[in-house]
Chain A
Amino acid sequence: GEDVEQSLFLSVREGDSSVINCTYTDSSSTYLYWYKQEPGAGLQLLTYIFSNMDMKQDQRLTVLLNKKDKHLSLRIADTQTGDSAIYFCAEKGNSGAGSYQLTFGKGTKLSVIP
């Protein structure tokens, strides 16, 4: 079945850039997402990218997609302490059945050092 892999931990200094990486196996992915989970809360959609795009920028966030290598990354510029959270990569396949099912990675815990 589909699989999504991401590193479990990342630590950066406040003001630096953070890059969180993700690889996936489903070549028919249509959408890829980044969710953010703050302590004690549920997951919230942070940003997404459609599979026919290479890059998407939204303020401090830059999403890069290398479809050939099935590699997705999230770059957070000028990382702040409020960015400390768990970041989940997720992908949506192109299957008719379960069309709203997403496959999630295990999450990357980002720690921002003041």
Chain B
Amino acid sequence: DAGVIQSPRHEVTEMGQEVTLRCKPISGHDYLFWYRQTMMRGLELLIYFNNNVPIDDSGMPEDRFSAKMPNASFSTLKIQPSEPRDSAVYFCASSGPGTGMDEQYFGPGTRLTVT
């Protein structure tokens, strides 16, 4: 398997623009997690899905953030409108039956810069 795939790897946008981050989990995994990593706050869980259903979105910072999982192989995280304080690295991770030790597998991340 190719692992968790994220796109784009880097995104630079201007304040006020809409940003969409994409994730393809590992085939067969039924849990998908979105994290944000910054120097100040470390790694934060934003939202996670089980069987394409959002289970806990309490980490989503505000209404400008939304996430969807239309099917088992694709998820998006959207920020609209984007602000400079959204600049961070966003990670997607997946897990589920067959992972052995219930560990999560992380994608390479999307580095977002909002100017």
A-side interface residues toward B, CB under 8 Å?
30-31, 33, 35, 41-45, 48, 50, 88, 92, 97-102, 104-107
Contacts and interface: CB of A to CB of B under 8 A. Distances in A.
Contacts of A42: 4, 91, 93, 106-109
Interface residues on B, range: 20 to 34
Nearest to A42: B106
Nearest to A45: B103
Nearest to A50: B101
B99 to A, nearest CB: 8
Contacts of A30: 102
B18 interface: no
Contacts, number: 59
Interface of B: 4, 31, 33, 41-43, 45, 48, 50, 55-56, 91, 93, 95-96, 99, 101-109
21 contacts: A31-B101, A33-B101, A33-B103, A42-B91, A42-B93, A42-B109, A43-B43, A43-B104, A45-B101, A48-B103, A88-B43, A97-B55, A98-B56, A99-B102, A100-B50, A100-B102, A102-B104, A104-B42, A105-B42, A106-B41, A106-B43
A48 B104 CA distance: 12
